[in-house]
Structure 1
Amino acid sequence: MKKSLVALAALAVAGVASAQSSVTLFGIVDASISGVSNKADLAAATNPATAAFLPGSVKSSRTGLNNSANSSSRLGFRGVEDLGGGLAASFWLEGALANDDGNASGFNFQRRSTVSLSGPFGEVRLGRDYKPTFWNLTVFDPFGTNGAGSALVQRAIAGTTNVPGIESSNVRASNSVGYFLPPNLGGFYGQAMYGFSEQLKYDNFLQGSLNNASRTGRYWGGRFGYANGPLDVAVAYGEQVNASNFTVGTNNLSKNFNVGGSYDFGVVKLFAQYVNVKGEVDYSGNNQPLFNPDTKLDGALLGVVVPVGAGQIKASYGHVKYRVDQNPLVFLANPFFQYNAPKADQLALGYVHNLSKRTALYATVAYIKNKNGADFSAGSNSITAPYVATFTNAFGTGAYVPKTSVGYDFGIRHSF
């Protein structure tokens, strides 16, 4: 009898707990046949007399099974517990899936791993999460920074062979503390984040060289926006220490400013964004040189989504320009000097057909035109290809510069 009463009491407690908390398994499996083809044009030959016998252009390409070309494949667990009085505790563990090869590299929770406390004051979130400065790039991109149609500026921030990345790991920050405004502010929303460097520090100046990387990895940023009805607009700013040298007194910083917006007319939804990412060396003492050049990346995107029956037509145009500040003395000596900054343009077109609320077929094609040495490619995730830099035949060797790239995805996405 006593055992029966204990069992009933345990079931009752479990029933109360389940009524106040929940755990959800969720995910997306996205697979596509993807391809990319990069074209490079002949710029110079070791023997100009035989340049005519070298091909005017050379191509590199790759085709294969891909993942995450429409939505990032993932597997996650999330849960929330009602603490009463308007308070709630929650967790979110989400990892990436490489379903095209069975995720041979192993599963982890690097997409997001957070624990939160929320209430009328908003939400405090601890762990690894999206940076505030990344949200505008993905929310205000018709292709959501996925696949061949991903925003050109996102490719540029990550960097290429000829265009070095300015901000390392611009998508997420680890070891972070985040705060989110409550959702009842009349359409206004916002967040702030601080990511710890978690580097070892010494307080003895004789051990200064041991502090060289003490600031590396530190991040802080914020985002503030307004969403009401068809309008959504937001601005974000963040700074990250990519490298530091305590002895010399320098920090290699990236400063990311961006603004984006969308407006839904019903028959069409428009998107726009502007991004400025600046790389600079910050000097902490009187050791700053007379000329301290900044590296700058400017990018813009215009996009559109048109609902058509059970599907959507997506399109976007993107432009980026990469430049390094010129020494004023050089400019004064030659005021007509023109710096040929690497730049590129991208056009993307796609269609998504919803078979149900959870399953969709999609097709995307993107075209990139490079100028002044830029080498951006329309490759998608693991389906990428480098540009051919040199080509040799019996008549000599030619140097080639990147010109155009075409990428495509044909796939299926299922969410659960």
Structure 2
Amino acid sequence: MAALAVAGVASAQSSVTLFGVVDASISGYSNSSRDLNNGVTYNANGLPVAYNPFYRNQGSVKLSRRELAHSGYNTSRLGFRGTEDLGGGLAASFWLEAPIKNDDGSEGAATFSRRATVSLSGGFGEFRLGRDYTPTFWNNSVFDPFGTNGVGTNLIHTAGGLFGSPTRASNTVGYFLPPNLGGFYGQVQYGFHEQTKYDPGFATPDKADIARKGRYVGGRFGYANGPLDIALAYGSNITGDNYFAGTTDKVDIFNIGASYDFGPVKLLGELSQAKQKTDFDGYYLADRLSLTSTKLNGWLVGVTVPVGPGLIRASYSGVKYKTDDLNPFYDKPDPKANKLALGYVHNLSKRTALYATVARVSNKNGAALTVGGPSFIGNKVFTPKNSTGYDFGIRHAF
């Protein structure tokens, strides 16, 4: 009886929830490349140096695939979360969330790589420790009608991930503002690189990526009240380093997103810039001049329209790469891509929905972004061009 009484007190002060999403779709992808050569050979400055009158254009080549996929509408996952009331307005919480591949069962709750945090919250806000989403990711997701899932995912998120903009960061300490600030919200996050520091510094092994790689710093602040939601975010992610060369490779990300719900229609949009750069701590000016940087500028406009129990979704997004190659004689055309996505979600209940999405990416000047599926054939002959895809699926949340 005493044990039961203790258990009753414990259950009254805390709660644990099992939750998840199982999402499956029939998805198809088709990615085509074209031979854009005309027999002319160009040098590094973009000047023609040779012509082959016998060159025969090889046309185009297409790679396609159809599969039973997952996470076309919402990401499939399995999670556990819980909260304990500590009294005095304080609460301790945990969140463990694992990705699952329900199409073949090859991945399950063996790793909580989606989120693994423990936190303490109160009137001061919330302190959260562990692996968590980065602040810059939230604008990519919240202001995308497709929520960065399936073939409809906006190009800002797709290209940013390849560029080095992380969705999640490990080993982080985060702080979130309290929710009672009249619509204002925000967070800051620091991720430890957990690299070994040597004293004196010359004892550091002469290897790459062992001094600072892995550190993340970011923040997001916004305002949501009624139909309006607007937020800006910044993040800096160290992707590599070389201690003795005095270089640190990093990706800096800035984005701003907004949405406004008019009732019959909701408009969404985002602007983003990510910059790959190398910070140099050396002494020689020649080394400093040899460094290059690349920018990725992106934009997104989207709309959602409620129709009875369903929702129409549409978005148009684009990205453009800008490389500072320090060539004063020739500026190569900037790679760029645009994407159009259309979709419909039919809610059978609050937890179950049917959905359909189609999308197409148009690449120019050597960009090679896809809606998913196989990679482009890209070489000296073929240049990536168009990518199309579809998702038809069902999502159940519990």
Same fold (TM over 0.5): yes
Q: Which amino acid aligns with 1:175?
A: N
What is the CA distance between 1:225 and its match in structure 2?
0.4
Of 37, 53, 56, which residue of structure 2 is paired with 1:51?
56
What is the CA distance between 1:105 and its match in structure 2?
7.5
Aligned to 1:243: 240
Is this contact kept in 2: 1:92–1:113, CA < 8 A? Answer: yes
Aligned to 1:394: none
| Percent identity (aligned) | 58
What is the CA distance between 1:290 and its match in structure 2?
3.0
1:124 is the counterpart of 2:113: no
Q: Which amino acid aligns with 2:384?
A: P
Aligned to 1:201: 197
1:377 is the counterpart of 2:373: no
Q: Take 2:383 and 2:25, find their aligned partners in 1: how far apart are those partners? A: 30
Q: Take 2:199 and 2:67, find their aligned partners in 1: how far apart are those partners? A: 54
Is this contact kept in 2: 1:41–1:58, CA < 8 A? Answer: yes
1:368 is the counterpart of 2:368: no
Q: Deviations over 1:363-403 (max 9, x none)?
A: 00001110001111111xxxx1122236xxxxxxx811111
Of 176, 185, 188, which residue of structure 1 is paired with 2:184?
188
- Find the residue that maps to 1:385 and give its secondary structure: coil
Q: Deviations over 1:237-264 (max 9, x none)?
A: 0111111111111110110000001110
Aligned to 1:151: 154
After the TM superposition, list the runs of 4 or more consecutive aligned residues in structure 1 that deviate by more than 6 angstroms: none
Is this contact kept in 2: 1:200–1:211, CA < 8 A? Answer: no
Moved more, 291-300 or 215-224: 291-300
Q: Take 1:87 and 1:205, find their aligned partners in 2: how far apart are those partners? A: 44
Aligned to 2:174: 178
Matches of residues 13-412 of structure 1 in structure 2 within 5 Å?
A: 13-44=6-37, 49=54, 51=56, 54=58, 56-104=59-107, 107-159=110-162, 165-167=163-165, 170-209=166-205, 213-287=210-284, 289-290=288-289, 292-327=291-326, 330-331=327-328, 334=329, 337-379=330-372, 384-389=373-378, 399-412=381-394
Is this contact kept in 2: 1:166–1:278, CA < 8 A? Answer: no
What is the CA distance between 1:68 and its match in structure 2?
0.4
What is the CA distance between 1:211 and its match in structure 2?
7.6
What is the CA distance between 1:44 and its match in structure 2?
2.8
What is the CA distance between 1:13 and its match in structure 2?
1.5
Q: Take 1:298 and 1:378, find their aligned partners in 2: how far apart are those partners? A: 19
Is this contact kept in 2: 1:202–1:211, CA < 8 A? Answer: no
- Find the residue that maps to 1:51 and give its secondary structure: coil
What is the CA distance between 1:321 and its match in structure 2?
0.3
Is this contact kept in 2: 1:209–1:247, CA < 8 A? Answer: no
Q: Take 2:55 and 2:273, find their aligned partners in 1: how far apart are those partners? A: 44
What is the CA distance between 1:155 and its match in structure 2?
1.3
Q: Take 1:272 and 1:244, find their aligned partners in 2: how far apart are those partners? A: 35
Is this contact kept in 2: 1:201–1:210, CA < 8 A? Answer: no
The higher-RCO structure (CA 8 Å, 6+ apart) is: 1
TM-score normalized by the length of structure 1: 0.89
- Find the residue that maps to 2:139 and give its secondary structure: helix
Of 367, 384, 395, which residue of structure 2 is paired with 1:413?
395
Is this contact kept in 1: 2:100–2:107, CA < 8 A? Answer: no
- Find the residue that maps to 2:101 and give its secondary structure: coil
Q: Deviations over 1:20-51 (max 9, x none)?
A: 10000000000000010011112237875362
Is this contact kept in 1: 2:23–2:73, CA < 8 A? Answer: yes
Paired residue total: 383
Q: Take 1:232 and 1:106, find their aligned partners in 2: how far apart are those partners? A: 34
Gaps spanning 5+ residues in structure 1: where? Answer: 1-7, 160-164, 391-397
Gaps spanning 5+ residues in structure 2: where? Answer: 40-51
- Find the residue that maps to 1:158 and give its secondary structure: helix
TM-score normalized by the length of structure 2: 0.93
* CA spacing shift, 1:116–1:287, aligned 2, 3 Å: farther
